[in-house]
Amino acid sequence: MVSYPSYRWVALTLATGAAIAACAPSESAGECFTGKPCANRGDACDETINECVPQDLDVGATGPVPAPADFSAVALPFFRGRVCMPTAVQPGDNIPVKLSFCSHPCVTGGSYKFQKQYKCTGSSCDAAVVQYYGNAAGTGCPDDVFGGFDESQCVYPEPGKEITASAGPFVINGNPVSGNAKVEVPFLSNADAAKIRDGAMTEEIWTLINQYPQDPDRVFAVTMSAGNPAAPADCADESKCECRTIGF
């Protein structure tokens, strides 16, 4: 029997649903061609040999290094900072996600945006929470402003003014999922974030995310069970959530 996963894309308050089929490959795991993409994150299909090969992708910075000293209208994705979310919730709960974005003092982020999407097969779900500044500007910035500048230079939102996002609720055909979810705050480049800002839809966003190897530090394991406490409304009380510093 072919299993049909539930699939939902949400951009702030906009939500759409679509079903996609999951098929088991009959060819070797490393074989690829049109209609059969590579299964492993960070691999791409070499169409000259029809085999999946690892990509040489830089995940140490979201933009060019050296970066320009001055820039404007840059889509700047969450790269480094602190993330909090509950990891044991009830089926059908909305899962609050608190993000404290580490930005360089030379950067003015402006208003932020977030998008979330998920896909479920049976009792297992994969979800992504994407946060970015859509129109960031910088003045007198160092070469590594998009990368690994010293953590001591991080500018975080004031306490209580962190970015509030969410994951889920996870449902299949309107029914809450009991099971497990992997909620990822994925690595994305400035160019990837610009595509999302400019209207990339569900499948393209998954493609942007899946081009990079998955970093376990960016993935939260969430259980959805009737025996769990209800998800809190937010993570202001961090004792109700798992908090983690990522990207350093």
Helix (H, G, I), strand (E, B) or coil at 203: helix
Q: Give CA–CA dist 242/176, Å, rounded.
A: 22
pLDDT bracket for residue 35 (50, 70, 90)? confident
Prior bond of 68 cis (ω within 30°): no
pLDDT bracket for residue 42 (50, 70, 90)? confident
- How crowded is residue 75: how many other Cβ atoms within 10 Å of its Cβ? 23
Query: pLDDT tens digit string along 188-229?
Result: 999 999 999 999 999 999 999 999 999 999 999 999 999 999
Q: Is the pLDDT of residue 247 over 70?
A: yes
- Residues 109-118, buried b or exposed e (16+ Cβ, 10 A)? beebbbbbbb
Mean predicted lDDT score pLDDT of the chain: 88
pLDDT number for residue 57: 82
Determine if the pTM surpasses 0.85: no
Tokens encoding 91: 């089926």
Q: Is the pLDDT of residue 21 over 70?
A: no
Nearest one of 203, 197, 186, 10 to 94, comparing CA atoms = 10
pLDDT number for residue 20: 34
Helix (H, G, I), strand (E, B) or coil at 208: helix
